Amino acid sequence: MFNILYTELLKLKRSKMLGLILIGAILPVLMNVLICKTNKNMSFQWDGYLKNTIIITLLVMAVALFALVTGFIFSREYSEKTINNMFTYPVERAKLLGAKLVIMFIVILSTFLLTYVLSIASGFLFKHGPLTKECALKYLTLYLKESIMQFALVPIAAFLSLISKNVISSIGLGLSAAFINLFVANSDKYIVVFPWSVPAAFGVSNLGFNMEQLSYNKGVISLTTIFIVSLIAMFVYAYRSDVNC
C-alpha cells in the first residue's frame, strides 16, 4: 500500500496540478489582504481577519479546487491511456482507489493548513494587536474539521470522473456547486441540505454568525449520505466497468 501511495504522490508532484493546489491555498489569503487594504476605515482584528479568509475558502475556492484535483487524480490513467496497464498489476482495484482517496485527503489537509499558516503570516502585514493562543487554536481546529467534511465530497467527484473517464465532469460539478453555494449561503433552510454548502454552514456557525435555526442533523445526514452512496457507487463501478480506453 505504501508503494501505491508513493507512486500516486510522484504522479501528482510531476503534474501541473501541484501548482494549482498552491494557487488555491494562496488565493483566498491574497483576496482577503486586498479587501483589508482597500477598506481604509476597517480596523484590523485577528478574529475577523482569519474569519474572512476561511469563509472565502469554504464558499468558493475549496469546492471548485478539490473537485478539479479529484477528477485529475481519478481520471488521469484514462486520459493518458494507461488504465489497462495499471490494472494488470497484481494489486486489487480497491487498494488503487483507496490510495487515490488517501492522496486526496492529504491534498485537502495540506491545502487548508497552508492557507491557515499564510493567513496568520499575512496578518502581520497590518497594524495588529496580539494573536491569542485561543484564537489561533480555534481556527486551526476549524480547518482540521473542515478537511474531513470536504473529504466527504470527494467520492462523488471521483465517481463522475470514472464514469466520464476525464476531468471535465468533476470540473463542471465543482463550478456548479460553488455557484449554487453563493445563493444558498444566506439560507438557514438550504445551506444544510445542499451537501457542498454543509462545510460552510458548520464553519460559519462555529465562527459566531447568527444562524441559530441551522439543523445540524440535516447537515450531517446530507453529507454522510452523499459520501456513503457515492463511495459505494465508485467502487462498484470500478470493479464492474470495462477499462478499455
Per-residue pLDDT, averaged over 202-206, amounts to: 69
User: How many degrees, rounded to 5, is the angle at CA 106 between CA 80 and CA 31?
Assistant: 95
Per-residue pLDDT, averaged over 120-137, amounts to: 87
- Considering only 57-61, 162-166, 199-203, 227-231, which range has the smallest mean pLDDT? 199-203
156/129 Cα distance (integer angstroms): 43
Provide the 3-class DSSP secondary structure of residue 129. coil
Q: Identify whether the C-beta of residue 64 lies closer than 8 Å to the C-beta of residue 157.
A: no
SS3 sequence, the chain? CHHHHHHHHHHHHCCCHHHHHHHHHHHHHHHHHHHHHHCCCCCCCHHHHHHHHHHHHHHHHHHHHHHHHHHHHHHHHHHCCCHHHHCCCCCCHHHHHHHHHHHHHHHHHHHHHHHHHHHHHHHCCCCCCCCCHHHHHHHHHHHHHHHHHHHCCHHHHHHHHHHHCCCHHHHHHHHHHHHHHHHHCCCCCCCCCCHHHHHHHHHHHHCCCCCCCCCHHHHHHHHHHHHHHHHHHHHHHHHHCCCCC
pLDDT exceeds 60 at position 42: yes
Q: Tens digit of pLDDT for each residue in 144-161?
A: 999 999 999 999 999 999
Query: pLDDT at position 7, please?
Result: 75
- Considering only 14-28, 137-151, 194-208, which range has the smallest mean pLDDT? 194-208
Domain positions in the chain are: 2-240
pTM (2 decimals)? Answer: 0.88
In this prediction, residue 80 has a pLDDT band, given cuts at 50, 70 and 90, of low
Sign of the CA dihedral running 143, 149, 154, 157: negative
Average pLDDT, the chain: 83
In this prediction, residue 30 has a pLDDT band, given cuts at 50, 70 and 90, of very high
DSSP secondary structure, 31-53, as one string: HHHHHHHH-TTPPP-HHHHHHHH
Q: Identify whether the C-beta of residue 171 lies closer than 8 Å to the C-beta of residue 164.
A: no
Q: Identify whether the C-beta of residue 142 lies closer than 8 Å to the C-beta of residue 203.
A: yes
Query: pLDDT at position 245, please?
Result: 46
